[in-house]
Amino acid sequence: MSAHGGRARLRRESQSVRGEAVVTPDILAALEHARAEKRPVVVGTMLPEGEQRLLPDPSASDALNEIAREVLISDVSGTHKIEGATGSCTPIIHRCGW
């Protein structure tokens, strides 16, 4: 029997499995700003660190921005592997539909 009375706990929609917020307040504000401008963007979550950013972004790498553009065109989210000079980065890209 678990510490929670043997019943599965409900997970709130805005939380990950470990309980932390899935989208940070900064990203949410940037998403709302992009939506107001009717600017198409995707949310990139870098694994394993969990850093999030809106893409395309002039400060992001060319490879990351290219993946973001492909996701915007294809309308298919997914996980991508990017090899870089400092190691590998695996972003999960989610298209924001509006």
Q: Over the stretch 35-89, which tens digit does the pLDDT of each residue have?
A: 999 999 988 888 777 888 899 999 988 988 998 898 888 888 888 887 764 555 5
Q: Which residue has the higher pLDDT, 39 or 1?
A: 39
What's the helix, strand, coil split of the chain in %, to 5? 25, 25, 50
Nearest to 30 by CA among 17, 20, 18, 44: 44
Give yes or no for residue 30 having a pLDDT over 70: yes
Q: Residue 28 to residues 38, 58, 92: CA-CA distances in angstroms?
A: 15, 19, 17
pLDDT higher than 60, residue 11: no
Checking if the pLDDT of 32 tops 80, the result is yes
Q: What is the pLDDT of residue 36?
A: 92
Mean pLDDT of 20-39: 85
pTM value is: 0.65
Backbone angles phi, psi at 93, to 5 degrees: -105, 125
First-to-final CA distance of the chain: 44
Q: Nearest 5°: phi and psi at 97?
A: -95, 125
Sequence ranges of the domains in the chain: 25-95
